[in-house]
Structure 1
Amino acid sequence: MSNPVYLALDLPQLDAAKALAQKVKGHVGGVKLGLEFFCAHGHHGVHEIAHLGLPIFLDLKLHDIPNTVAGAMQAIHVLEPAIVTVHASGGRAMMEDAKAAAGEHCKVVAVTMLTSLDERDMARTGITGTPHEHVLRLAELAEASGLDGIVCSGHEVKSVHDQWKDGYFVVPGLRPAGASVGDQKRVVTPRHARDDGASVLVIGRPISRADDPAQAARDIEATL
């Protein structure tokens, strides 16, 4: 991949999303479409963004019984996504069925721990240990389930890469040096994540909310 940056294009208006993607398409490697976008625009919206010619990452974070998740994967075949997410906490059978139902060229990656959560949040949901330990456990389960990789924060990607040499690692919650952290709790810079083994760098607000999104994308690309 020449450019590992995927723009998080989670805007509620389709025309605005298309306009933003058009502005930055020469400086990103793909586009991430999440739940907000997919619920608002569905298959039609994905097709509209795909016309720009960039790989599509459907960040749907599927999490249900194995049969339901497999059915959902089959339903999005026609969209030809490059990457789709499921939740690692859905268990091995769910992840196995998700991968079996995915398209031949679609990478299925498991979300381990959201970057908006920290150790206190884990404890409140009954999960013991540190975020680092939790991510490594779920990464091991995802690998055993036959997935292509995981989603994790930049704080864990080096350790996961050391453990899973040929894994495909998606790192969200990234912020360029000096940028506002916002609602993220475990962030690093794009360059830091890339150096530690990230395959895909998901970047949203530092580009989408910049006065000049194209320049912001160029500035991030220049650091890699």
Structure 2
Amino acid sequence: MNNMFVALDFPTWTEAKSFLDQHELHSVPVKVGMELFYREGPSIIEKLKRDNHAIFLDLKLHDIPTTVMKAMKNLAKLEVDIVNVHALGGSEMIQRAKEGLLLGSNTNHETKLIAVTVLTSMDNYSMNNELKIPGNVQENAVHFAEFARENGADGVVCSVHEAKRIKEVCGSAFLTVTPGIRLQESDINDQKRAATPRLARENGADILVLGRTVTEAQHPKDAFEKVKEEWGYGIES
């Protein structure tokens, strides 16, 4: 399993392709989110696969269980590496999502199903006062992770700050996918629970999602290599 995915947060394939080519990010694993997928459709997955990119398809499905199952059955045919749902959709929805992936696969390819716990743009105040969910962010992230695992998910999206505890509760094989990764000199933007690659490594994160710390860097390839260096060797930024 690849452990770093660059987020292609661009409005069109032309812009995403230009970014990858211009900065020589050939064959790097990439994350395709709603913005790009809703514009370009499934064809973008085929284009990226032809260029040997591993793919995390980040659509965060959240609907009634039957609808999610049918959607996952279609997505399974794209044979990406990772897809996700919102854990807030509940246990049956997660079960049906896994069922759809298995039903839709025509090969031995395994797409990992991960569940989003608490968005990294959220903090305790917004969770408690806007969503009216009691408890703190970590408690809820761990709770969502535990019941996601019990219902067939292979891992969760969480912040680096929850990854260690989730590993303790769910086991070392349960994947922790962590966005909000920032090099020391990068702005955190709207990520309220950001962290450096070094901290991610120390906290047991398995997979890093690299957004603006790479895509908005003056030299994106250098930034990507710097993340790899810090992740691999624990070097301070």
Deviating more after overlay: 46-55 vs 168-177: 46-55
Distance 1:163 1:24 in 2: 39
Deviation, structure 1 residue 183: 0.7
Distance 2:9 2:51 in 1: 16
User: Residue in 2 aligned with 1:221?
Assistant: 228
The SS at the match of 1:223 is helix
The C-alpha deviation readout for 1:9-34, integer Å capped at 9, x for no partner, is 11012112012234353584x11001
Aligned-residue Cα RMSD (Å) equals 1.4
Distance 2:201 2:137 in 1: 20
User: Residue in 1 aligned with 2:192?
Assistant: 185
Structure 1 residues 24, 60: CA separation in 2 closer, same or farther (over 3 Å shift)? Answer: farther
8 A contact 1:20–1:213 mirrored in 2: no
Written as runs of structure 1 = structure 2, the 5 A alignment for 1:41-52 is 41-52=40-51
Written as runs of structure 1 = structure 2, the 5 A alignment for 1:190-209 is 190-209=197-216
The SS at the match of 1:98 is helix
Superposition TM-score, scaled by structure 1 size: 0.94
Distance 1:27 1:180 in 2: 27
User: Residue in 1 aligned with 2:116?
Assistant: 111
Distance 2:24 2:66 in 1: 38
How many residues are matched? 222
User: Residue in 2 aligned with 1:72?
Assistant: 71
* Greater length-normalized contact order (CA 8 Å, ≥ 6 residues apart): 1
8 A contact 2:26–2:51 mirrored in 1: no
User: Residue in 2 aligned with 1:122?
Assistant: 127
8 A contact 1:27–1:218 mirrored in 2: no
8 A contact 1:194–1:201 mirrored in 2: no
Structure 1 residues 175, 65: CA separation in 2 closer, same or farther (over 3 Å shift)? Answer: same
Written as runs of structure 1 = structure 2, the 5 A alignment for 1:15-54 is 15-22=14-21, 23-25=23-25, 28=28, 30-54=29-53
User: Residue in 1 aligned with 2:176?
Assistant: 169
Distance 1:149 1:67 in 2: 21
- One-letter identity of the residue aligned with 1:145: N
8 A contact 2:20–2:26 mirrored in 1: no
Distance 2:85 2:76 in 1: 15
Could you tell me which runs of 5 or more consecutive residues in structure 2 were left unpaired when the two chains were aligned. Answer: 232-237
Percent of aligned pairs with the same amino acid: 40
